[in-house]
Structures are given as structure tokens and as C-alpha cells.
Chains A and B, each alone.
Chain A
Amino acid sequence: MSEEQIKNLEEQFEARIARDEKIEPKDWMPEKYRQTHIRQISQHAHSEIVGMLPEGNWITRAPSLRRKVALLAKVQDEAGHGLYLYSACETLGISRDELYEQLHSGKAKYSSIFNYPTVTWADMGAIGWLVDGAAIINQVPLCNTSFGPYARAMVRVCKEESFHQRQGYEIMLKLCQGAPEQKEMAQDALNRWWWPSLMMFGPTDAESTHTEQSMKWKLKRKTNDELRQQFIDQTVPQAEILGLTIPDPDLKWNEERGSYDFGEINWDEFWQVVKGHGPMNKERMKARVGAWERGEWVRDAAMAHAEKQQERKEKQAV
């Protein structure tokens, strides 16, 4: 194809997106679009499955049968989200094995929030309330993103995430209505998860790269700072209902802006965790790689069996 032809195709492509048409896997797309989507969708898929680990950590210790069942179902939903997102990513011409390889080698990133430890039962509440809550704010706009398979996966994912958020909030509510020790546990969890949750929206707009391109492709509709503000404004009243204190002395309602002002995020901590040196980065990778390696003989067996079955069928047919 000549440069001119490619330019033409690109213009038509951008025009389709501007008209709100969906791009489907078989459609022509610029290489950069493909690569950006592989990166973002796989990162999202990896986050779902690494995200199973901190909550999976409490399944065996859940305090009641009802909570155990709900937590199992939640973590299973996250596995399902990983599954649809990997499938959406595969439509762009990359295999699941390659994507895992990128995760296990440390080449691909996943959401840093999952590099924090879950140390009490209240963390199951705080994660649902804050982490799923922040994820929803990040993801709702993606239900209208330009790439069809991603947009459709997000519609389903977002529905389940809002259920998770309600479930998490309900865990917190129960703790806050309970014994003083339980309320303390809830406050402690909020103290530990609040700032990392704010970091989920990424660096400040001043520091953030490739925002413009992402806006055009509808991978982003609002900036990191706008989304973060939306999260804070939505969450502060919820904390008030619980009777919990947000661990930020600078948090204050700003009448003029109609929003909360808040304190400085510790960006050194943010970058430390992103670069792989958070409290649980090594543990999380060890768990993922370990599960994959321990499962190798199982996957090999399944493949060998399927091949043998196929051969047997062919022989019978002769």
C-alpha cells in the first residue's frame, strides 16, 4: 500500500470513530491503534486475575458461610472478567499464552492497587467499596469506547463491578454497626486503602502521557484528575454514613468548586509500587508464575489427550 492509501484509510478510520461507529476485529485499523488496544486490554485483563489474589487470601477465613460464598462468587467474577478481556484482546491477533508470558516476565503491567496486602477481614469490605468503586469510575466510560469487543466486555464487567461495590460497602456497614473492635477494623482498612485507591486514577494530568490520542479513540473521556475528583466527591459522603474518617487532614468541602479539596498524594510511593517495589509485587508475581508453572503438566495433558482423541476419531472414520 502506498503512503497515500494508508493516509486515506487512516482518515476514514478516524472519521468512523468520530461518528461513534464501532471498530470490529476484522476491520482495517492503524497498527498503533492495534498495539495501544492490546496493551490496554491486556493490562486490564492482568489486573483482573492478579486482583483475584488479595481477596482470594480471605476465602478460607471468611467469618460466616454467607460471606464465604459471596467472596468466592466475587473472586470468580474477576476470573470471568479476565476471561472476557483476554478473549477481546485475542481478537487483535495475539494469543493468551503470549499475554501471560508478558505478565509473567514483568513486561506487562497490572493495576498497582493489588500490590498492597489484605491483612484483615475489613480489607474485603474496603476493596469492594473503594477499589471496585474506583474501577467503575475508570471503566464506565469504556462501555462506549471505539473498539467493539472491548466496549461489549466492559458493559458486562461494569454491571458486576457495581454489584461488588455494593457488597463491599455492605461489609463495611455491618462492621461499623458492630462491636467497637469491628468498627476499628473498618477504620484501619479505610486508612490503608484510601490513598492507594486515589492512586488508581494514575498520575496527575500534568504528568500523564498519551492522553490526547486516548481521548480521540475513546479509551479515555475524562482526565485522571477529573476522575479522581469524581471518586472523592462520591466517596466522602459514603464514609460519613459509615461514621468513618477519611485519613486526609486537608480534605475540605470547597463551596466555590462544588467539590472536595484534598491533600497531596504521595507520588514517590506511587512510582515505587509501579516500578515493582510495593509491599506485595514480588509475592503477587510469584503466585501467578507459580500457578502457571504448577499447571503446566495439566495443560500439556489436556492438549495431548485432545490430540489423541482426534487421532482415534480419524482412525475410526477410515
Chain B
Amino acid sequence: MKHNLYRYILGIADNSLILGQRLGELCGHGPNLETDIACTNMSLDLLGQVRSYYQYAAKIKGEGASEDSIAFLRKEREYYNVLLVEQPNTDFGYTMARQFLFDVYHLLFLTELQKSSDLTLSAIATKSIKEVSYHQRFSSDWIKRLGDGTEESNTRIQTAINDLWTYTDELFYLTDADKAMVEEGIGVDVATLKDAYYKTVSEVLEEARIEIPESKYFQKGGKQGIHTEHMGYLLADMQYMQRAYPNMEW
């Protein structure tokens, strides 16, 4: 098996899976019907992308692997999503801040992944890019609305941005599998996206009257499978059926 490629795909797809799962929690509980529908849409887009990635990963892995065995049957230490996407839906401010901080990265990432020498990955990137540019527009608009809106909304979104900022640096960290894939012309060198990322993020925050956090203390670990305490509960929920009723078709 092409071990590095397999790990590399998980590193991409797990972000979409975990973020899609988080957005799915909100379905039916949004601040109004329009945002409810929009958050469900983003969840659907992300999970659609996940299925393409995992179907490809399952082919590479062989041994009877399937999109579902990959999605549901790994141990917590074997999920490689960044810490940012597993953070909870504390309030709508956190949900939008998490979305925005991820979307800006995601769009830059997919734009580069389109150039991958791996044709399956570049095709998935091309297909996903339209969806993700819409996500970024949606979350940026909400960042601006919440930042500019009322004093309360400004305080709340500022708090969310401050709290989640610590997870942004991990986006630009390369694992060994990432490095190997960059060398083969398959992977994206995410370190090179960092300046563009903080530039776009800062522009939107400024327009939204949100202060750019100055903290230089960052958290990472997700890309190595070391997660925050939230992750275990998310997985317990997500894996429940597959664990309680093993080896069945649904």
C-alpha cells in the first residue's frame, strides 16, 4: 500500500468529516431557517467531499476497506484532522469563527491541490473549490455582520476568534506524510500558504471591526492524531451505530 498517500488523504478528508459532523449537530437548531439551511448545506458539501476522498483511500488501502470503515472504525489516535475543526458549537459566533478560519485555509489549499500530479486528488479539488468558495463567502459575511452588528455580537465574535486563534497555526504544519507527498508533486506545501492566509483573515477581521489576536501561543496535535478532549465525545456519537452493530449493512 502507498502508506504516505493514504495518510495524506486522511489528513485532508478528516478535516471535512469532522467539520461536517459538527455542522450536522446544528441542523434544526439554527438562529433562523435560512442559516439553518445554509449550515446544513455546508455540512452536505463537506461530507460529499469526504466520500470521494475516502472511496479513493479505500482503494489504496485494499483489504476490504470502504468509505465507512475509514470514516467510522478508526481509533481516536488514527484521525488526523486539525484541532480547529473539532472545536464545539459553543454558540453561533464560535461556529462561524471556526468555519471562517477553516474556509480561508481550505480554499487556498484546494486551489493548490488542483495542481497535484495525482489526478484523482486534483479532480476532487476542482470539484470542491466552487463549494468552498461559497462557504468562505458565507462565513466571511457572517464575521462582518457579527463584528459590525451590535456591541454584544462584536464581543461574542471577538471572544470566539480569540479562543480559536490558537488553532490556526497548525494548519501550516507538515507531517512526514505531507513532506513525502510534496516531494512527489502530489501534496501541497501548506507552509507556503501561511502569509496569504493571515493576510485574507486579517482583511476580513479588520473590515468586521474585530481585533486581530496578538497571541503567539499556538496548539497543535491533530495532524499527529493527538486531539482535544472534545474529540472522544464526537467520535463516540458518530461511531455509535458501527460499534454497537458491527459488520452490518445499512
Asked if residues B92 and A295 are in contact (CB atoms below 8 Å), the reply is: yes
A297 to B146, CA, bound (A): 9
Residue A72 at the chain B interface, CB threshold 8 Å: yes
Residue A82 at the chain B interface, CB threshold 8 Å: yes
Contact of A79 among B37, B43, B50, B238 (CB under 8 A): B37
Asked if residues A68 and B24 are in contact (CB atoms below 8 Å), the reply is: yes
| CB-defined contacts of B25 to chain A, threshold 8 Å | 59-60
Asked if residues A83 and B47 are in contact (CB atoms below 8 Å), the reply is: no
Asked if residues B145 and A68 are in contact (CB atoms below 8 Å), the reply is: no
Residue A287 at the chain B interface, CB threshold 8 Å: yes
Asked if residues B33 and A49 are in contact (CB atoms below 8 Å), the reply is: yes
| CB-defined contacts of B28 to chain A, threshold 8 Å | 49, 52-53, 56, 75, 79, 287, 291
A308 to B43, CA, bound (A): 31
Residue B189 at the chain A interface, CB threshold 8 Å: no
Contact of B48 among A69, A292, A308 (CB under 8 A): A69
| CB-defined contacts of B68 to chain A, threshold 8 Å | 64-65
Residue B3 at the chain A interface, CB threshold 8 Å: no
Asked if residues B30 and A295 are in contact (CB atoms below 8 Å), the reply is: yes
Residue B122 at the chain A interface, CB threshold 8 Å: no
Asked if residues A59 and B27 are in contact (CB atoms below 8 Å), the reply is: yes
Residue B241 at the chain A interface, CB threshold 8 Å: yes
Residue B140 at the chain A interface, CB threshold 8 Å: no
Closest Cβ of chain B to A186, distance in Å, is: 12
Asked if residues A299 and B32 are in contact (CB atoms below 8 Å), the reply is: yes
Residue B250 at the chain A interface, CB threshold 8 Å: yes
Asked if residues A301 and B47 are in contact (CB atoms below 8 Å), the reply is: no
Asked if residues B156 and A80 are in contact (CB atoms below 8 Å), the reply is: no
Closest residue of chain B to A75 (Cβ to Cβ) is B27
Binding stretch for chain A, among B102-110, B147-155, B220-228 = B147-155
B32-71 vs A, CB cutoff 8 Å, 1 = contact: the mask equals: 1111110011011001101100100000000000011001
| CB-defined contacts of A107 to chain B, threshold 8 Å | none
Asked if residues B249 and A174 are in contact (CB atoms below 8 Å), the reply is: yes
Asked if residues B35 and A298 are in contact (CB atoms below 8 Å), the reply is: yes
| CB-defined contacts of A303 to chain B, threshold 8 Å | 149
Closest Cβ of chain B to A88, distance in Å, is: 14
Residue A4 at the chain B interface, CB threshold 8 Å: no
Contact of A174 among B71, B146, B237, B250 (CB under 8 A): B250
Binding stretch for chain B, among A177-185, A193-201, A204-212 = A177-185
Asked if residues B146 and A301 are in contact (CB atoms below 8 Å), the reply is: yes
Asked if residues A72 and B44 are in contact (CB atoms below 8 Å), the reply is: yes
Closest residue of chain B to A67 (Cβ to Cβ) is B250
B218-250 vs A, CB cutoff 8 Å, 1 = contact: the mask equals: 000000000000000000011011100100111
Residue A73 at the chain B interface, CB threshold 8 Å: yes
Asked if residues A305 and B248 are in contact (CB atoms below 8 Å), the reply is: no
| CB-defined contacts of B32 to chain A, threshold 8 Å | 295, 298-299
A12 to B79, CA, bound (A): 69
Closest Cβ of chain A to B79, distance in Å, is: 15
Asked if residues B31 and A291 are in contact (CB atoms below 8 Å), the reply is: yes
B113-151 vs A, CB cutoff 8 Å, 1 = contact: the mask equals: 000000000000000000000000000000011101110
Residue A282 at the chain B interface, CB threshold 8 Å: no
A297 with B44, Cβ < 8 A, contacts A56-B28, A60-B25 known: no
Asked if residues B67 and A65 are in contact (CB atoms below 8 Å), the reply is: yes
Closest Cβ of chain A to B84, distance in Å, is: 19
Asked if residues A302 and B145 are in contact (CB atoms below 8 Å), the reply is: yes
Asked if residues A63 and B241 are in contact (CB atoms below 8 Å), the reply is: yes
A300 with B43, Cβ < 8 A, contacts A52-B27, A63-B241 known: no
A182 to B244, CA, bound (A): 12
Asked if residues A65 and B50 are in contact (CB atoms below 8 Å), the reply is: yes
Residue A270 at the chain B interface, CB threshold 8 Å: no
Residue A155 at the chain B interface, CB threshold 8 Å: no
Asked if residues A287 and B47 are in contact (CB atoms below 8 Å), the reply is: no
A301 to B36, CA, bound (A): 16
Closest Cβ of chain A to B242, distance in Å, is: 6
Residue B29 at the chain A interface, CB threshold 8 Å: yes
**6 more CB-based (< 8 A) A-B contacts, given A73-B44, A76-B41:** A61-B241, A63-B250, A65-B47, A298-B146, A305-B148, A308-B149
**Which 8 A-B residue pairings sit nearest by Cβ, starting from the closest?**
A295-B31, A301-B149, A301-B153, A63-B241, A56-B28, A52-B28, A298-B31, A63-B250
Ordered by A's residue number, 9 sampled pairs between the chains whose C-beta atoms are within 8 Å are A60-B21, A64-B250, A65-B68, A179-B248, A182-B248, A294-B92, A296-B31, A298-B146, A301-B153
